Amino acid sequence: MSKKVRVRFAPSPTGGLHLGGVRTVLYNYLFARQHGGDFVLRIEDTDQARFVEGAEQYIMDCLKWCGLEPDESPEKGGPFAPYRQSERKHLYYEYAQKLIDSGHAYYAFDTTEEIEKMRNTYGNDDHKAQYDETTRGYMRNSISLPPDEVVKLLENGTPYVVRIKMPVNQTIRLTDMIRGEVTFDSSLVDDKVLLKADGMPTYHLAVVVDDYLMQITHAFRGEEWLPSAPVHVLLWEYLGWKEHMPLWAHLPLILKPDGNGKLSKRDGDRLGFPVFAMNWTDPKTGEITKGFREMGFMPQAFVNMLALLGWNPGVEKEIFTLDELIMAFSIERVHKGGAKFDFEKAKWFNNQYIHHADNETLAKLAMPYIEDGLKNTGINSRAYDSRLMTYDYLQRVVGLVKDRCTLLPDFWAQAHFFFVTPETIDVAAIKDKWNDQKQQFFSNWAAALEALPEWNEQAIEASCNEHALQAGLKKGDVMLPLRIMLVGGKYGPGVFIIADMIGKEETIKRIKAVHL
Ligand code: GLU
């Protein structure tokens, strides 16, 4: 019987969640759902120096917002708890000891200064400046020092780290689900620290031990982890677990829009688009980095866009619901090469999702932006009629303007005139063609509107046509001025439906307010 599929997302809580991280979550999630497996969230917080307050909660909130919730996590618990590596600290020592006993790892007593000195000896040659077969012989460790001295140092409580002893000239092989067979020359990899002086494991030891203990069957992670893979493969082997090693998939990088290198937070700041899933506030500096959520993306659109950033569905179709993605996803169709991020395309996805969303859903999403807009309009901030803030009204409004909205804040920009009298009127747009005849028409028509027995789109339009005819004007002559009066600018849905929606009193007030 084949093993139950178990995958994991294993972030270190060091800051905002990059869209590449969310894509890793997504591919994990899709794979787990497709195979009826489990999706685990494990927090890799063993590096105390990089730990950032609030980052774990933020990661969990991002997953919630995206609708990609794990089956097991620090918050939810699960059969393999705890899911926070700092709470599993006591587990790792035993495995480090096992590696020492079998000769695959050793104690190293070097101070930071001694390591620094060794590195400096090699000048700028990074490749040579590493703790490995060449250097370990003269550094202070349990391989170079006589056994009795090692015992003494240990008994005296001398601080030490445990390092893996990398073999020399060995080809380490890994079959990656995306890249096929990948080989590494063991001589090029340094003796990585496995256990730190504070007793905490490093990422390398903890990731292997936890993937084993948590029975992970497939491990998807970013391409940037590929150089660490040989260390992990050896640890699986040295710990006697090789047959349980998960199948690896190293996901392609997400590249800058011009394809030149990995997309970073700084690129987002520079080019004016978000790189994080949600706003991230640095707890130390208070600096806020913008997120897709706050920019006004719908999570479904964000997730759909990410799915295609590195995965080719093999069909023309681009819009996929999460359920469709679960059906269609295949790790074999994930590219090897990096995927260029295209913000315009990301916005296109959002526009499509807004366009196809039902008005009820959109009303809920647009509501905070409408409320904020009202708050910010100062003197005009009071919706002039409480009727206009009902849910029913809001649903009709979003239905009328949704095709013009790409990001959720657009709902205020495109619909504010349904709620408040426009603050600025683009009179320049109509000034050239303005004349007494038009002025006369609008004052007559405004008076006639007072007496209009029924107030609806058809009745208002019919009355407008009739009065334009009487004034010797064509309907086309009065449409733009009417739009400018009601909306403030040259945009928005049909003018008569706007008049219908904002009501008789407000329509007449706006017509009368404009004098050229
Ligand atoms: N803790 C690593 C990270 O922060 C996880 C890498 C892996 O999935 O093995 O991304």
Active site residue 76: no
Do the bridges between strand 180-185 and strand 171-176 make them parallel or antiparallel, or are there none, so unpaired? antiparallel
* Alpha-carbon gap, residue 222 to 219, rounded angstroms: 10
Asked if residue 432 is part of any domain, the answer here is yes
Residue 307 shares a structural domain with residue 454: no
Tokens for 141? 């460790």
Q: Is 299 in the pocket of ligand 1 (CB under 6 A)?
A: no
Residue nearest to atom 10 of ligand 1 (CA): 11
Question: Which stretches within 341-421 are classed as H helix?
Answer: 343-356, 359-376, 391-401, 410-415
Q: Is 207 in the pocket of ligand 1 (CB under 6 A)?
A: yes
* Alpha-carbon gap, residue 69 to 18, rounded angstroms: 17
Mean pLDDT lowest among 155-159, 311-315, 376-380, 500-504: 376-380
Residue 477 shares a structural domain with residue 440: yes
With a cut of 80, say whether residue 126 has pLDDT above it. Answer: no
Domain count across the chain: 4
Strands (E), 165-204: 171-176, 180-185, 193-195
Q: How many helices (H) and strands (E) does the chain have?
A: 21, 13
Residue 209 shares a structural domain with residue 140: yes
Q: In this structure, what CATH number is given to the domain that contains residue 347?
A: 1.10.1160.10
Q: What residues pair up with 172 in beta bridges, in sequence order?
A: 184
Of 17, 44, 245, the one to substitute when testing ligand 1's pocket (max ligand atoms within 8 A of C-beta) is 44
For 360-377, write each residue's pLDDT tens digit: 999 999 999 998 888 887
Of 221, 235, 245, the one to substitute when testing ligand 1's pocket (max ligand atoms within 8 A of C-beta) is 221
Q: Are 7 and 32 in contact (CB under 8 A)?
A: yes
- Per cent of the chain over pLDDT 70 is 96
For 17-35, write each residue's pLDDT tens digit: 999 999 999 999 999 999 9
C-alpha separations of 417 from 3, 394, 485, 503 in Å: 59, 12, 10, 12
Residue 364 shares a structural domain with residue 347: no
Backbone angles phi, psi at 187, to 5 degrees: -70, -20
Read off the pLDDT band of 122 (50, 70, 90): confident
Residue 246 shares a structural domain with residue 129: yes
* Structural domain span for residue 297: 265-354
Q: Are 131 and 118 in contact (CB under 8 A)?
A: yes
Q: How far is the CA of 251 from the centre of ligand 1 (A)?
A: 12
Residue 221 shares a structural domain with residue 307: no
Burial class (CB in 10 A: 0-12, 13-18, 19+), 496: buried
Q: Are 468 and 478 in contact (CB under 8 A)?
A: yes
Q: Provide the pLDDT for residue 375.
A: 83
With a cut of 70, say whether residue 66 has pLDDT above it. Answer: yes
* Alpha-carbon gap, residue 475 to 262, rounded angstroms: 56
Residue 234 shares a structural domain with residue 94: yes
